[in-house]
Structure 1
């Protein structure tokens, strides 16, 4: 019986400026912001999750205030091997991903990637198996976030029938977590945005897969101070 092999390497994209998280990001990059009550920056939670899912090597792509992140990585007790790369000039999202992937220890093997501001927990191994079953070049995790406003339901005549507070979005979105086959790296642009070039091309060729996050899986993008507060509340509720 064939035993599936899961990726053991990952790229974490941690170069964003996090302007909407100011003043938290005035003196640190976005992934170095701590979720209140945890004492650990976002990237610390990410690296622990990756290690728990079998990742032994991670490349962290730094940018804004790179030295703050590098100093923390050097001083922290980490559960996996971490190296860093710094873009000396803006390469765009796709170019930055390709530049970071060049630092992976096993270029002939698949790899995970995650955005540095994502706070989530689900089985990466299940996602990797899904990716392999579909023989995809790239697989995106897909989330269905809650709409931050209350929704209104109406009947065909225009009477309001119900109010729903923060309902799930009717659309799936890119959750910022990926599984990539080894061949994907070559398809990335040296400079520019892969989400406008590489991904649409793979979608047309039916080589791009989407893995819906399992029911009940925790996912949140940390974009604003409100997201930090909500994440802290949700973590406190889980701990009870």
Structure 2
């Protein structure tokens, strides 16, 4: 399964950390956020990495070049920042089977393998990781509306009045059907083509979509304080890992 990583954004909320670099190159625990993303995706069996770049794209291309740990990298360019569905369409010609999608500003220590397994076993059109967040934070995300049975019935992007506090986390698996949905998406009130609207179109058309509750943690590195929180978590895990014979742990963090 190939993997798509969306890394074209300007990271305006992360300034001053992104004054001279794209947010995917901001370091957390000694390495860029994108390195954390790539490592997790390769652990999940990614056979190719398709990176959507935009703002200060050359910094990413020069750093990683054409492969990471032996896995080939393809770059596509989102020339205008028109939303995640718009960004995803830049890789359409490179994808012909099920694939993973990760937002390139998230750091995960969670059950991503469960999402991949569900996609492979059920042949769903989409599966994604969801989590409950504090109600006052839900409006920052794509919010999942549910029926009385707890089934997801639609997804709303950054609503002013969230229908629930169950949100999408930034890790998905899709069949190529998502590209058709992205082509049908209309600009939101924010003027962007939202990935949540594409997912909602799949739901409304009767496609099979599975939502997996998150077990573990993730940090959406949207603000400088989020970067600090992710670093503390990674370093804390590194410090508490059991010491194996001939191996010492450090506090420098890592997957």
TM tier, shorter chain? 0.7 to 0.9
Q: State the distance in 2 between where 1:103 and 1:17 align.
A: 24
TM-score by length of 1: 0.77
Higher-Rg member (1/2): 1
Q: How does 1:24-103 map to 2 (within 5 A)?
A: 24-35=17-28, 38-74=29-65, 78-103=69-94
Question: In the alignment, is the contact (CA less than 8 A) between 1:48 and 1:79 conserved in 2?
Answer: no
CA deviations over 1:80-103 (Å, ceiling 9, x no partner): 211111123444321210112323
Match for residue 212 of structure 2?
Answer: 211
What is the deviation of 1:15?
A: 0.5
Task: Note the residue ranges of structure 1 that are not aligned, 5 or more in a row.
Answer: 1-7, 150-169
Q: State the distance in 2 between where 1:234 and 1:39 align.
A: 13
Runs of 4+ in 1 over 6 A off after TM superposition: none
Match for residue 128 of structure 1?
Answer: 116
Alignment root-mean-square deviation, CA: 2.5
Question: In the alignment, is the contact (CA less than 8 A) between 1:95 and 1:190 conserved in 2?
Answer: no
Q: State the distance in 1 between where 2:230 and 2:82 align.
A: 31
What is the deviation of 1:212?
A: 1.1
Match for residue 10 of structure 1?
Answer: 3
What is the deviation of 1:171?
A: 1.9
Whichever structure has more helix as a proportion of its residues is 2
Question: In the alignment, is the contact (CA less than 8 A) between 2:83 and 2:195 conserved in 1?
Answer: no
What is the deviation of 1:68?
A: 0.8
3-state SS of paired residue (1:102): helix
Residue 102 of structure 2, aligned match among 114, 122, 125: 114
Match for residue 220 of structure 2?
Answer: 221
TM-score by length of 2: 0.72
Match for residue 242 of structure 2?
Answer: none
Match for residue 201 of structure 1?
Answer: 201
Question: In the alignment, is the contact (CA less than 8 A) between 1:91 and 1:190 conserved in 2?
Answer: no
